[in-house]
Amino acid sequence: MPKQMYDVDKFLELSEDAEECRVKRGTNQVKLKLRTRKYLYTIILEPQKAEEVLQQVKCQIVEARSETDEPV
């Protein structure tokens, strides 16, 4: 079961031990998901704040495909 976070600093601290950070972009918000060995942590941010956080994340960043993306 995913754990939702609200503290950006704690999210960045957890990114040090995470395997990857998935990014799912919406129109008004961005969902960041940290996969660790034990849990999946999520945080929902405004697009501008999410970009700032992504610059500080210390694990691999993976852009999640949206359902509207067509295969190439």
Q: Which domain holds residue 50?
A: 3-63
Distance CA 47, CA 31 (A): 9
68 part of a folded domain: no
The verdict on residue 72 lying in a domain is no
* Bridge partners, 31 (sequence order): 24, 44
At residue 4, what is the residue type? Q
Report the number of distinct structural domains present in the chain.
1
pLDDT at 72: 47
Give the tens place of pLDDT for each residue, 8-61: 999 999 999 999 999 999 989 999 999 999 999 999 999 999 999 999 999 999
| Distance of alpha carbon 32 from alpha carbon 24, whole angstroms | 7
**Please, which pLDDT band fits residue 66 given cuts at 50, 70 and 90?**
low
What DSSP element (H or E) covers 56?
helix 47-56
Task: Write the CATH number for 49.
Answer: 3.30.720.90
Band of pLDDT at residue 65, cut at 50, 70 and 90: confident
Confidence of residue 67 (pLDDT cuts 50, 70, 90): low
